[in-house]
A = this chain, B = another copy of it.
Amino acid sequence: MGSAPRIALDAMGGDAGPAVMLAGAARAHERRGDLSFLLFGDEATLKGELAKHPALATASEIVHCEDVIGASDKPSQAIRRAKTTSMGRAIAAVKAQDAHAALSAGNTGALMAMSKLALRTMPGIDRPALAALLPTLGDNDLVMLDLGANTECDARNLVEFAVMGSAFARVVLELDRPRVRLLNIGTEELKGTGELKEAAATLRASTHLHLSFEGFTEGDKIARGDVDVVVSDGFSGNIALKTAEGTARFVTDLLKRAFTSSVRSKIGFLISRPATELLRHHLDPNNHNGAVFLGLNGLVVKSHGNANEAGVANAIRVAARLVREDLTRKIAEDLELVSAKKAAAAAAAAAAQ
């Protein structure tokens, strides 16, 4: 493989299917001509769609797959169909080093289960986590994980998420020591579940890590710009992420109503339109699309099921960037450093006895 990112695209996933996936790929390819694609899915359908994007066609190969993972397929059922489905084969292409990253907008649970089975977790990592960048009021975005890969997590999982999320932040946000907090229902030490308290104690004691652990945060403090990595179990993280998306839409809907409630406010709206358009752009989930499974021996990116063409293009850009920055190797290095320091500390403790 050369260094120009080659993406294995599950062209069948997502609510709108191949048309949007290929249009998104075409848009990403237009911006960065060095991208190339392996397109997994029904050959006839993909040929038809690809005919609409001649530039993309020159940079793509279609790999026919007869089967597709459905939105309601259980992960346990899905993994049995890894060899015949567009999702399963896209992941296999990463394992076979035919592509640098896999991207799917399909069933998250199935994608997680298949990726874990095919690519395996990195040494020292128990469970992969789904991470994404979210907008803040500060200078940079923040990394949030887990966003739904693991419904229930123990303290060890949360600590691993903190390490992986920090490595991700170091690469993508270019921060030396990301500020990490655990999502909780209060900032006092006695708040929350036993798992959270135990994870906090471990992180507080782990001063050798490439991160600055700053305690707990709450749902209303996430986006203020004073934290770089927010760690939670997949259930709470998913609730927080979706509630944030829903509330942003709720507020903009109310705003729309307010602006159309009188002639006067309509005029005001038209005048300040460039400003509100900027806001709309900033809040559009399509502009933050592309969540990453961290902790696997290979890159897998999840696009929102309902992402539009621009959203798919963004997720592809995220994947390509992580390929160029060699995220998987950098996380592995951070994890090695952790275990080396652990081993050194254990040796020092043994020598002191």
**From B72, B192, B253, B259, contact of A275 by CB (8 A):** B259
B residues near A224, Cβ cutoff 8 Å: 246
Residues of A within 8 A of B (CB): 71-72, 74, 136-137, 148, 151-152, 183, 185, 188, 190, 192-193, 218-224, 232, 234-236, 238-255, 258-259, 261-262, 264-276, 278-279, 282-283
How many protomers of this protein does the assembly include?
A: 2
Contact A192–B274 (Cβ < 8 Å): no
Check A223–B239 contact: CB distance below 8 A: no
On whether A259 and B242 interact (CB within 8 A), knowing A190-B74, A234-B185, the answer reads no
Q: Hey, which chain B residues are within 8 Å of A271, CB to CB?
A: 264-265, 267-268, 271
Q: How far is the CA of A242 from the CA of B72 in the complex (A)?
A: 30
**Given the complex of chains A and B, what is the CA–CA distance between A72 and B186 in angstroms?**
10
A96 to B238, CA, bound (A): 44
Chain B residues whose CB sits within 8 angstroms of the CB of A152 once the complex forms? 193
Q: Smallest distance from the beta carbon of A79 to chain B beta carbons, Å?
A: 15
Given the known inter-chain contacts A235-B193, A251-B247, please indicate yes or no for A241 contacting B219, CB distance below 8 A: yes
Q: If A72-B188, A185-B148, A254-B282 touch, does A246 touch B268 (CB 8 Å cutoff)?
A: no
Give the residues in chain B near A243, CB-CB below 8 Å: 219-220, 222, 239-240, 243-244, 247
The residues of B that contact A265 with a CB separation of less than 8 Å are: 271-272, 274-275
Give the residues in chain B near A279, CB-CB below 8 Å. Answer: 251, 254-255, 258
- Chain B nearest CB from A41 CB (Å) reads 23
